[in-house]
Structure 1
Amino acid sequence: MNDITQHGKPRALLFDWDNTLVDTWPTIHAALHVTFERFGMPPWSLDEVRQRVRVSAREGFPKLFGDRSNEALDVFYEAFKAQHIEQLSVLEGAAEMLSGLHEAGFYLGVVSNKSGPLLRREVDHLGWARYFSRVVGATDAERDKPAAEPVQLALAESGVMPGKDVWFVGDTDIDLICAQNAGCVPVLLRAEPPGQQEFEEVVPRFYVCDRRSLLALLR
């Protein structure tokens, strides 16, 4: 799965954000807890949030809150904005990896289902805007991940077409499906190796257990 010699190095890498480069699960959990309580719904545990949160709030909230989804979005984002910068945590090796890839000349971008303005605020807060040519969040494109449109937007001014020259790096099935929908190479980045038959819809082309390993693979 990790034999790069058979595929060649990419020209561009697009990264998921949450749980791929940074850890914001505690903030998402806290904001959802406030929202569920406001609407009289039983809150999810942190583990349940990690398992259930995949699509953007724009797409997921109508299924949870029905015709009150816009009201729920306002409550969620108010709670999220109040603490997301203070609780933002960089995952081990992420800064070193991005610096190394940037210096090596790869085109780098972010494709996330986090609200675009909030996502870019986090990127700016970490001083990582210099690494990314394009940072695409939820509602920036016509449709959100796993649709192909956010990837197309992230590559729009890169000179690189979606395809084998583009690796999409993430930690969930949504990221791998997005890569496939856009015609890019799906790369799974997380500590746990893929379980047997875990990714039946899209099998990752490469699996790397941490960010330093990805940098080493591409060097």
Structure 2
Amino acid sequence: MNHIILFDLDGTLTDPKEGITKSVQHALQAYGIDEPDLDKLCPFIGPPLSDSFKEYYGFSEAQAREAIDHFHEYFTKQGMFENKVYPGIREMLARLKDAGLTLAVATSKPEPFAIQILEHFDLLSYFTLVGGADMEEIRVRKGDVIAYTLDHLGTTPEESKVIMVGDRKHDIIGAHENQLPCAAVLYGYGSREEFTENGADYQIETVEELGDFLMKWGEV
């Protein structure tokens, strides 16, 4: 049986805080909203952007979609590269791939951006497939992205042993919608409370612990 690990991108493989929060800051300025404290914009890391603009700033659906365009004005020029790979991630991915496990990305970030980021940080070669949102954010919910990724891998949870690795509740919910377990990582932007409330199957403290866990999970 094939063993497949689906990785979230933001907050799981890389720390995108600077680029995402500055892109949100830029978008908000288009509406006369000045938010100098980037830490207050960290909740935007992970979930679909449209949901976050509506939840945290009361935007309508139309405003939220327009705000995404303003977000991309900054993000596509420089924000996507104001990012850093978590220490130990590269070594962990190499270890898992060398063990014969299939690695893929399932992210709510638009797929072309995810590919660019992974390529920029020399991580793309570790992954068989990168599954992401479409640019219109119609396919953006994590459950839909996971289903899309599995479909393009040509498999199902019944045919392969699959696990989702992420750092927010959306990863847990999306995994469970697809009858998959989720390993939630605490070094990202989620919390133990968030993971417990949403029924994370595993809670992982560090990148090193994640690598050891996934190696054991992948044993035939």
Q: Normalising to structure 1: TM-score of the pair?
A: 0.83
Change (3 A) 1:59 1:138: farther
Query: Aligned equivalents of 2:65 and 2:187: distance in 1?
Result: 35
Partner of 1:131: 126
Task: Letter of the 1:185 partner, please give it.
Answer: P
- Contact 2:16-2:45 at 8 Å conserved across structures: no
Partner of 2:19: 27
- Contact 1:20-1:190 at 8 Å conserved across structures: no
- Contact 1:112-1:145 at 8 Å conserved across structures: no
Equivalent residues in 2 for 1:68-83 (5 A)?
A: 68-83=63-78
Structure 2 counterpart SS, 1:156: helix
Partner of 1:4: none
Larger mean Cα displacement after TM superposition, 130-139 or 19-28: 130-139
Equivalent residues in 2 for 1:44-59 (5 A)?
A: 45-59=37-51
- Contact 1:15-1:109 at 8 Å conserved across structures: yes
Partner of 1:5: none
- The alpha-carbon deviation at position 36 of structure 1 amounts to 0.8
Q: Please give the root-mean-square deviation of Cα atoms over the aligned residues, in Å.
A: 2.7
Query: Aligned equivalents of 1:43 and 1:69: distance in 2?
Result: 17
Partner of 2:109: 114
Unaligned segments of structure 1, at least 5 residues: 1-8
Matching residue within 199, 206, 211 for 2:207 = 211
Q: State yes or no: 1:185 paired with 2:178.
A: no
Task: Letter of the 2:74 partner, please give it.
Answer: A
Structure 2 counterpart SS, 1:65: coil
Unaligned segments of structure 2, at least 5 residues: 216-220
- The alpha-carbon deviation at position 166 of structure 1 amounts to 1.0
Query: Aligned equivalents of 1:174 and 1:115: distance in 2?
Result: 16
Change (3 A) 1:30 1:145: same
Change (3 A) 1:119 1:44: farther
Q: Normalising to structure 2: TM-score of the pair?
A: 0.82
- Contact 1:167-1:185 at 8 Å conserved across structures: yes
Q: Which has the higher helix share?
A: 2
